[in-house]
Structure 1
Amino acid sequence: MLQRINTLWEFWRFLLQRFIADQGNNNAAALTYTTLFAVVPMMTVTFSMLSAIPAFQDTGEQIQSFIFSNFVPSAGEALQQYLRDFTTQARQLTWIGVALLAATAFWMLVTIEKTFNTIWRVRQPRRGVSSFLLYWAILSLGPLLLGGGFAISTYFTSLSLISGPGALLGVQTLLKFMPLLFSVAAFTLLFATVPNAHVPMRHALLGGLFVAILLEAAKMLFGLYVRLFPGYQLIYGAFATVPLFLLWIYLSWLIILFGAQLVCNLGVPQHWRKREMPRLLMALGVLRVFYERQQSGLKVRLRDMHRQGWLLAEHEWEEILLFLEQQKLVAPTGSGYWVLSRDLGHYSLQQLLSHSPWPLPRAENLPEQLDEAWYPALRSGLATLQDAQAALFDGDLAQWLQPQAKSPE
């Protein structure tokens, strides 16, 4: 039990370190700013998509009321009427205005994808048709799925009213959890589809459940704070709703981005995280696999690295590939496959070390053993280099910086 507790503690500490390293608070602030400008365009696009289908004519207002009553604290109730008025006025825009609103909604999705790609260490974002189709699917299919869900829930509610309060008890219980289920489904799809990387569905589902539960708890605490500490109304007066709404959006994005870190790192093996393998060793291990598979005329992908014992996370794989591609050592062939593109007989280890973006690891920080034929010589060489460097630069700074005596002419 104690070992499991320590493992969980190490894992969450690792997530927090990654979240801070990826500047999660700054990204949440940027997404809050983007959301402020994109919320009305998103609502307008949603209502337009739903109004195009006769069966969903009145579903847009239901969705808006549902979101504000279940996902936004009570402080957002006054803001709901303002957003409804803004959205009503936006529907009266010309085609040029509608295009600008759609571009603003796309801008928000682009910002979300860039932030997620930073978390997943994706260096090649979607471009062109694939990016457009993803955003269009979110803007079009998302409202339709929500509308379908509301139509089904309304149908079951009407059946319970007709059949009596004792009928469909299981369905009534399900309807009570409908906000949480909608939230889990939305965040699961967000984590599974937005990053330009392979995300296992079970990891996305766990992340969606984690974010949904945490947001529900945050909503309760936020509402409690608003009721118990109403001093903000004395300061801002009638304008108090806006800063509270912005604060809630910021907290929501903090939770969502931390959930993204959870989804991204669920696939990193525990023992691999604890080893904290230096990137230089990873790069040499990757090159060894590339070299061996080149001898057999085979391509390389991340799965091949795992089979060879190098359990790299996807962001580590992408980081190392970026460096090797810059050195023109590897090249992509499509569909996630890579090949060795340079004769290693004409590329020295010194060239690799001199161009490496990572600092040379100290010999005492290296693992004692590694199942690689090149590792003992590398570890010994780094130890020798470290000793030689210490001998050459061991003098104190006063000796190095004092002016040298001039020799008599």
Structure 2
Amino acid sequence: MTQGAGDTELSPAELARHLFGFSHRVLRNFLRNHGVLLAGGVGYNVLLSAVPMLAVLGVLLTRIVEEEQLLEVMSIQAQHLAPAHAGLVSEAVRAFMESRDIIGLVGLPVMLFFSSFAFRMLEHSIAIIFHRPENPRRRFWVSAVLPYAFMLVLGAGLLGLTLLFAIVNAFYEEPGLILYLLSFISVFLVFSAIYKVLPIVRISPRRAVVGGLVAAILWEATRLLMMYYFLNISFVNVIYGSLTTIIVLLISLEVASIILLLGAQVIAELERSERLGLPWYTSCD
């Protein structure tokens, strides 16, 4: 009789051994899927898409909320995107919003198009990780609309965060910790939504939420370590000079992409074990 993941009690030693074996399996299949190479492509496209996407959302949302409040929220979110150079991302968004009248209605669709690059690359990368011969192909119009649907959801989330930040600022003199928690929750929700929606296979909401929480915690811990390293230890500014900012941004985004795709690989392995009727720690090869 095949035992499920929760049918037997595992001793601490057995659990540690199974976790090690499962982690080895995840890393092996992640490398087999060229996960690091995919993460590099995702990171580059996020760098290409982040500023135009935040700028377009900012232009649209300033019709509803105050511009300074919105820019404050974006500045906090940019700290998750670029730990050591969040200010540069914020300044780029601010500069675009100040010149939005020059860009006009013709420029906005172009910016919107460039904003979708990261979602398209991420969709292709997750499709490789979850690939199975029997998987159905996603319809073209769904793939075409999905990035803009995600941006619409991000815009709604950004609006909600801005309103929450305004309420928190009104009631607390030093709201730093609360704003930080709200920002972390928003990252967790984005990761969970990616794990639920982007894979072509059906992912349970519980598994997407757990994956999103683990990925968000891993990224937050990594982000803090990277911020300390780049600000206090790194010699990257000596090596790359004026290119330092771009190099640091690309490294930060690639590391975040590796964590995001590793979380997807974990979910893919769990789904594979469940589909075969095996415990999560049993090798499927």
Give the aligned partner of residue 165 of structure 2: 153
User: Which digits, 9 at most, give the CA deviation of each residue in 1:124-173, with x for residues without a partner?
Assistant: 44334433443332112321222112312321331345xxx9xxxxx996
CA distance in 2, matches of 1:215, 1:36: 17
Superposed, which structure 2 residues align to 1:323-402 within 5 Å? none
Residue type of the alignment partner of 2:156: L
Instruction: Provide closer, same or farther for how the CA distance between residues 196 and 224 of structure 1 changes in structure 2, counting only shifts above 3 A.
Output: same
Instruction: Answer whether contact 2:71 2:90 (CA < 8 A) is retained.
Output: no
Give the aligned partner of residue 258 of structure 2: 254
The question of 1:182 aligning with 2:190 is answered: no
Give the aligned partner of residue 142 of structure 1: 154
Instruction: Answer whether contact 1:50 1:144 (CA < 8 A) is retained.
Output: no
Give the aligned partner of residue 4 of structure 2: none
Instruction: Answer whether contact 2:211 2:267 (CA < 8 A) is retained.
Output: yes
Listed as ranges, the gaps of 5+ residues in structure 2 are 1-11
User: Which digits, 9 at most, give the CA deviation of each residue in 1:14-72, with x for residues without a partner?
Assistant: 111111011001101111222222222211221133134x2365443123211123553
Listed as ranges, the gaps of 5+ residues in structure 1 are 166-170, 278-409
CA distance in 2, matches of 1:273, 1:8: 7
Residue type of the alignment partner of 1:159: F
CA distance in 1, matches of 2:17, 2:128: 28
Residue type of the alignment partner of 1:126: R
Scaled by the length of structure 1, the TM-score of the pair is 0.59
Give the aligned partner of residue 319 of structure 1: none
Give the aligned partner of residue 325 of structure 1: none
Instruction: Provide closer, same or farther for how the CA distance between residues 194 and 49 of structure 1 changes in structure 2, counting only shifts above 3 A.
Output: farther
Instruction: Answer whether contact 2:196 2:203 (CA < 8 A) is retained.
Output: yes
Identity, % of aligned positions: 20
CA distance in 2, matches of 1:182, 1:119: 24
Give the aligned partner of residue 102 of structure 1: 112
Residue type of the alignment partner of 2:161: G
Superposed, which structure 2 residues align to 1:87-126 within 5 Å? 88-89=98-99, 92-121=102-131, 123-126=135-138
79-88 or 24-33: which moved more? Answer: 79-88
Instruction: Answer whether contact 1:189 1:204 (CA < 8 A) is retained.
Output: yes
Instruction: Answer whether contact 2:55 2:96 (CA < 8 A) is retained.
Output: no
Displacement of 1:236 after TM fit?
2.9
Instruction: Provide closer, same or farther for how the CA distance between residues 90 and 196 of structure 1 changes in structure 2, counting only shifts above 3 A.
Output: farther
Scaled by the length of structure 2, the TM-score of the pair is 0.82
Greater relative contact order (Cα 8 A, min sep 6): structure 1 or 2? 2
Displacement of 1:213 after TM fit?
0.8
Instruction: Provide closer, same or farther for how the CA distance between residues 87 and 127 of structure 1 changes in structure 2, counting only shifts above 3 A.
Output: farther
Out of 21, 41, 45, the position equivalent to 1:34 is: 45
Give the aligned partner of residue 62 of structure 1: 72
Residue type of the alignment partner of 1:36: L
127-136 or 214-223: which moved more? Answer: 127-136
Instruction: Answer whether contact 2:219 2:256 (CA < 8 A) is retained.
Output: yes
The question of 1:25 aligning with 2:31 is answered: no
Higher helix proportion (structure 1 or 2): 2
CA RMSD of aligned residues (A): 2.6
